Amino acid sequence: MDMGNQHPSISRLQEIQKEVKSIEQQVIGFSGLSDDKNYKKLERFLTKQLFEIDSVDTEGKGDIQQARKRAAQETERLLKELEQNANHPHRIEIQNIFKEAQSLVKEKIVPFYSGGNCVTDEFEEGIQDIILRLTHVKTGGKISLRKARYHTLTKICAVQEIIEDCVKKQPSLPLSEDVHPSVAKINSVMCEVNKARGTLIALLMGVNSNETCRHLSCVLSGLIADLDALDVCGRTEIRNYRREVVEDINKLLKYLDLEEEADTTYAFDLGQNHSILKIEKVLKRMREIKNELLQAQNPPELYLSSKTELQGLIGQLDEISLEKNPCIREARRRAVIEVQTLITYIDLKEALEKRKAFACEEHPSHKAVWNILGNLAEIQGEVLSFDGNRTDKNYIRLEELLTKQLLALDAVDPQGEEKCKAARKQAVKLAQNILSYLDLKSDEWEY
């Protein structure tokens, strides 16, 4: 149909579809909950467009009816996606974990900034456990879940960092007010900064409804202005004191921009993160070495060179910046385990080859342990090649095989032989490590 003669109803439907399309990315990336203001705003907008679509007169014409149907389906699809994002089970899981963190802050940190005694080990352990659990929440690559997890982790890690900085820092300051009249003002500002820390933590964790980020930002900026206006009479120690307090204020101001920074820089998308790309590069090379070993006609020829290169990969992983990001820390930890497991496999195969070459008389119990180690080496080779999840039949088979080897080790009687006891203990640890590695490979974790 010529655009100049297009039916007014078709033109109206196209206008509505264009408006709906304009907020599609907002819906796809919505990381909040159904009681958030932005959720209600998006929901109202899409519902309004549905009413607009429904009000378009089709005049009984088939092409207009089809166009109206398509427009309604597209709008309903976005409404459904918005609802699914807000009510996704893993989004609810993230929120429940965040609520635990809120309770911990209310109980342990708010009292601390109100004159309590100290930050307890219980709080530090609790917050670390919460961070670890958040890094293991599966996102399935969904932008909304990635953003939700990143925002939540960023807030909690910021709180952890603020507290660590406050507790572990042992300042030589404040200076005595006898040194210079301006010191009294700096001391007063420093007290206000300490109060602002508590306010900021409460804001980040959503446990303070009486303050806003904007107001706190104005307060902190005002404190900097007060410090800048001070006359320190060229006294170096006072100038350094003032600079230190200003640095503390600037650190707190940085935390107030966390939400906006995450959205504008796409920091939640770790797929393009420099540290993650380095980890992926190491893992790619590790897999190449693994495949060469498992497919080689004469593997012993590759043992030495492979181990040397794998040790180098461990060194590369140690040098990777974590960027204070627990997800990057977890990705590096898992990569280290991947590389270390392959090194352990080579060590075991080397030990078995050496034993075969220098056969000698040995205690029956010791021989039984070595036989089981031979079985574990074969199973470990299969585990290294495994690429599935916990519902796969092969996962269940490998898990059962490893459990049988643990039972076989439990049945070995060392008969008082210390050497056999030590060998059995080492073999049990190896079998348990292979089981743990199988779990790690199959837990479908992603950053």
Cβ atoms within 10 Å of 306's Cβ, excluding its own: 21
Using CA atoms, how far apart are residues 433 and 140, in angstroms rounded to an integer?
27
Amino acid at 347: D
Q: Are 153 and 131 in contact (CB under 8 A)?
A: yes
Does domain 8-87 fall into CATH 1.20.58.120?
A: yes
Residue, of 6 and 94, whose pLDDT is higher: 94
pLDDT of residue 112: 64
Compute the distance between CA of residue 431 and CA of residue 429 in angstroms, rounded to an integer. 6
Take residue 130 and report the two structure tokens written for it: 């919460």
Predicted confidence (pLDDT) per residue in 236-257, tens digit: 888 888 888 898 899 888 888 7
pLDDT digits (tens, 9 = 90+) for 404-443: 999 999 999 888 888 888 999 999 999 999 999 999 998 8
Cα dist. 383→122, 271, 341, 403, 437 in Å?
Answer: 37, 26, 10, 14, 8
pLDDT over 50 (residue 205) = yes
Tell me, yes or no, if the two domains 8-87 and 274-442 fold the same way: yes
110: exposed, middle or buried (Cβ count in 10 Å: 0-12, 13-18, 19+): middle
* Amino acid present at 317: L
Nearest CA among 90, 215, 214 for reference residue 152:
90
pLDDT of residue 229: 86
User: What length does the chain have?
Assistant: 447
Determine the Cα–Cα distance for residues 363 and 370; give it in Å rounded to an integer.
11
Cα distance between residue 101 and residue 130, in whole Å: 7
- pLDDT-derived band of residue 106, with 50, 70 and 90 as boundaries? confident
What are 380-396's pLDDT values in tens digits? 999 999 988 888 999 99
Structure-model confidence comparison of residues 118 and 295, the more confident one: 295
Report the C-alpha gap between 196 and 249 in whole angstroms: 9
Check whether 81 has a pLDDT greater than 90: yes
**Domain ranges across the chain:** 8-87, 90-262, 274-442
CA dist., res. 202 & res. 197, Å (int): 9
pLDDT of residue 261: 56
**What whole-number distance in Å separates Cα of residue 129 and Cα of residue 326?**
11
Residue 166: what pLDDT?
A: 74
Q: Please tell me the predicted confidence (pLDDT) of residue 111.
A: 66
Taking each continuous run of H as one helix and of E as one strand, the counts in the chain are: 18, 0
Cα gap 254→247, rounded to integer Å: 11
Confidence class for position 1, pLDDT limits 50, 70, 90: very low
pLDDT of residue 168: 63
CA distances from 377 to 30, 282, 337, 390, 404 (A): 48, 24, 17, 21, 14
Would you place residue 265 in the very low, low, confident or very high pLDDT band (cuts 50, 70, 90)? very low
| Long-range contact pairs involving 274-277 (C-beta distance under 8 Å, separation at least 24) | 274/321, 275/320, 275/321, 275/322, 275/323, 275/325, 275/328, 275/331, 275/332, 276/328, 276/331, 276/447
- Residue given tokens 């990143």 in the structure block: 150
Residues of the chain above pLDDT 90, percent: 51
Neighbours of 425 (CB within 10 A): 13
Residue 339: count other Cβ atoms within 10 Å of its Cβ: 23
Q: In the prediction, which pLDDT does 133 show?
A: 92
The pLDDT of residue 312 is 96
Cα–Cα dist 82/79, whole Å? 5
pLDDT, tens digit, for every residue of 30-42? 999 999 999 999 9
CA distance 362 to 343: 27
Question: Using one digit for the tens of pLDDT, what is the confidence trace for 163-204?
Answer: 887 766 544 455 565 566 778 888 888 888 888 888 888 888
**Looking at per-residue confidence, does 63 or 265 come out higher?**
63
Specify the amino acid at residue 176: S
On average, the pLDDT of the chain sits at 87
Say if residue 8 is preceded by a cis peptide, omega within 30 of 0: no
Q: For residue range 311-338, what is the model confidence (pLDDT) as tens digits? A: 999 999 999 988 778 888 889 999 999 9
Q: Does the domain made of 274-442 have the CATH classification 2.40.30.260?
A: no
Evaluate if residue 266 carries a pLDDT over 60: no
Residue 175 has what DSSP assignment?
A: P
Query: So what's the pLDDT on residue 372?
Result: 95
pLDDT at 84: 95
Q: Which residues contact 277 (CB under 8 A, 6 or more apart)?
A: none
* Spatial distance between the Cα atoms of 345 and 337, rounded to a whole number of angstroms: 12
Residue 392 CB contacts under 8 Å (≥ 6 apart), including other chains: 442
For 86-115, what is the mean pLDDT? 86
Distance separating alpha carbons of residues 414 and 420, to the nearest angstrom: 5
Tokens found for residue 191: 């007290």
pTM for this predicted structure: 0.74
Average pLDDT over residues 206-221: 85
Q: φ, ψ for residue 23 (rounded to 5)?
A: -110, 10
3-state secondary structure 388-437: CCCCCHHHHHHHHHHHHHHHHHHHCCCCCCHHHHHHHHHHHHHHHHHHHH
Question: For the chain, how big is the Rg over CA atoms in Å?
Answer: 31
Average pLDDT over residues 25-54: 94
pLDDT attached to residue 4: 56
Mean pLDDT over 150-157 rounds to 89
